[in-house]
Amino acid sequence: MNWTKFALVFSLLLAGAVFATRGTSDPRVSLASVVELWTDTLRDTDQIGMKITRVSDAEEMRIGNDLARGVADMGREDAEATRYVTAVAQPLLPHLRRPGIHYQFHVIASPQINAFALPGGQIFVMSGLLDFVESEAELAAVLGHEMSHVDLRHCIERYQYEARLKKAGAPELGWLVEMAHRLVTLGFSPQQELEADAQGERLSVESGYDPDAEPALFARMKTKLHEPSRPQATTPAGEVGEAAREAIQAYFRSHPPSEERVARLNDMLARHRQELAGRSFYVGKENLRERVPKSSREYPGESREIATH
């Protein structure tokens, strides 16, 4: 037996364990890692079909326009608010990957705190959400999130099979295939949301908006929607059971819990803290209140600088 090697390995384990008890802790126990690995596999496999049936930007926008007409009866469009929202989104556009997509923004008069995106750049924001956000930075984060869904092809991927088969003259079959596809790929919908969160955050940050706006928005939304905190089991059996239950729930959940979104965003910001340190970002509470976009006017006192630590 080589005692030196043994001592080294044992010391490494011991040191790792000791250091892991320091710093910020995350006591959550779950099977999220297994779920993510599984959804990774699903998404990678799904990409075969997506690559084969990929549609052009023009076709995607046409599909998006058709779908947008279908949701027009949700409520009256607020023209003034739409103009404001469109103006807020403009600084974000250059940072997107797909320049061929022409985004259109719609503000619907509805008390719902919600926003969604359709293929081809159709972004819908409910006026309830506009009332809920507290700053233009938060609005930019929301818009960035929805635009990311389009940019990352999350939206069009839900219509690709149907569109291709419709083009091939089998629209009913296309609808059936698409339903099956959505059922199979249901599992990585939360992952797509987290990706959209991350890219939305990046878009708003690169547009000069406050990086902490989006986590703050989700934290407030958790309170507003009365989302329960995730229970933490205290026994081994409870831990396994809770983890299994959570894993199963996660597969059928369209959005991750706001608590997790906040944690992920904060973690992302912490990792990029050095890049952001010393830079000044705009919050824009007054802009939101006055419906004047940052690109038109920057109010004093609306900027904040990210500290190094």
Partner 1 sequence: MESVLLVGVLITLFVRWLVLSGKMNSMQQKIELLNSDTTQPMLIARVYALEQAVKELRAIRPDEVPVVPPPIPATVPPIPATSSPAREQGDREPEPRAFEPVVLEPEAPRVWESVKLDTTPPPLPPAEPEPEPVRVPSISMATPQPAGPTFSERVRQSMQGEEWEAVVGGSWLNKLGVLVLVIGIALFLGYSFTQVGPGGRAAIGLAVSVAMLAGGFLIEKKPRYKIFARGLLGGGWAALYFTTYAMQAVDAAKVIDNPWLGGALLLAVAAGMIGHSLRYKSQTVTGLAYFVAFATLSPAVTPAPVTAFSVIALAPLAASLLFVAYRFQWSQMALFGLLATYGTCASRGDSGAPLWSVQLLFCTYWLLFEGFDLLRAARRSEYSVWESAILPLNALAFIGLSYMKWSVAAPQHLHLLAAGIGAAYLASTILRALLRPPSSFAPETETLQRALSGGYEGPISLTAALTVAAIFLKFHGAPALFGLLAEAEALFLAGLFFKEAYPRQLGAALFAGGLGKMLIVDLPAGGTAKIWNWNVKPWTPVAAASALLFYMNRALRSADTFYGYAGSAAIALILGFEMPEPYRGLSWFILAALLFAFGWWRRLGDFRVQGYLAGTLGLGGIAIYQTDVEFGYAAPLRHPSISLACAAVLSYLAALCGLRSSADRLDEWERNGLRGIGSWAATSALLALAWRVLPGDFLGLGWMALALVILELGLRTLPEDLRLQAYLAAGLGALRVFFFNFLPIANDDPLSKRWIVAAAALIAYLMAARIHLAQNGMASATERRNVFNLSSSVGTLFLLAGLWALLPAVVIGPAWAMVALLLMEAGYALDLPSLRLQAHLAGGAAFGRLFFANFTGLGRVGAVSHRLLTVVPVAVSYYYQWSRQRIERTRLREWELPLGRIYLYAAAVLAVVLMRFELGRVLTVTGWAAFALGLLIFGKRWNNVDLRWQSYILAALAFWRSWTTNFYAPESFAGVSGRILTGAFVIACFYAAQLLIPRKSEETGLERHARAFYSLLAATLLAVLLFYEVSGSVLTVAWGVEGVALLVAGFPLNDRVQRLSGMFLFLVCILKLFVYDLRHLETMYRILSFIVLGLMLVGVSWIYTRFRDHIQRYL
116 binds partner 1 (CB under 8 A): no
Please state the closest distance from residue 268 (CB atom) to partner 1, in A. 5
Tokens of 167: 């083009």
Task: Give dist(CA 255, CA 194) in Å, integer.
Answer: 8
Query: Is residue 119 packed enough to be buried (19+ CB in 10 Å), middle (13-18) or exposed (0-12)?
Result: buried
202 binds partner 1 (CB under 8 A): yes
Residues 6+ apart with CB under 8 A from 56: none
Please state the closest distance from residue 39 (CB atom) to partner 1, in A. 9
Which of these ranges, 67-75, 163-171, 267-275, 299-307, lies near partner 1 under the rule CB under 8 A? 267-275
| Candidate list 6, 69, 167, 224; residue touching partner 1; CB under 8 A | 6
24 binds partner 1 (CB under 8 A): yes
| Candidate list 131, 172, 227, 267; residue touching partner 1; CB under 8 A | 267
Please give the radius of gyration of the chain, using alpha carbons only, rounded to the nearest integer: 22
Q: How far apart are the first and last CA of the chain?
A: 46
Please state the closest distance from residue 159 (CB atom) to partner 1, in A. 19
Which of these ranges, 73-81, 131-139, 156-164, 263-271, lies near partner 1 under the rule CB under 8 A? 263-271
Residues 6+ apart with CB under 8 A from 202: 95, 144
Distances in whole angstroms, Cα of residue 203 to Cα of each of 68, 163, 292: 24, 29, 20
272 binds partner 1 (CB under 8 A): yes
263 binds partner 1 (CB under 8 A): yes
Which of these ranges, 20-28, 131-139, 213-221, 299-307, lies near partner 1 under the rule CB under 8 A? 20-28
Task: Judge contact between 276 and 205, C-beta under 8 A.
Answer: yes
| Candidate list 183, 225, 237, 307; residue touching partner 1; CB under 8 A | 237
Residue among 256, 217, 253 nearest 129 (CA): 217
Stated length of the chain: 309
| Candidate list 63, 133, 243, 306; residue touching partner 1; CB under 8 A | 243
Give the side-chain half-sphere CA count within 13 A for 205.
21
For residue 256, the 8-state DSSP code is: -
| Candidate list 198, 216, 250, 292; residue touching partner 1; CB under 8 A | 198
| Candidate list 76, 97, 102, 167; residue touching partner 1; CB under 8 A | 97
Please give the size of the binding site for partner 1, defined by CB under 8 A: 61
Please state the closest distance from residue 119 (CB atom) to partner 1, in A. 18
> Position of tokens 């939304």?
221
Task: Give dist(CA 92, CA 143) in Å, integer.
Answer: 9
54 binds partner 1 (CB under 8 A): no
Task: Give dist(CA 80, CA 78) in Å, integer.
Answer: 6
20 binds partner 1 (CB under 8 A): yes
28 binds partner 1 (CB under 8 A): yes
Residue among 288, 294, 295 nearest 129 (CA): 288
Q: Binding residues for partner 1, per CB under 8 A?
A: 1, 5-6, 9-10, 12-17, 19-34, 36-37, 40, 43-44, 47, 95, 97, 148, 152, 191, 195-196, 198-199, 202, 205-206, 234-237, 239-240, 243, 263-264, 266-268, 270-272, 275
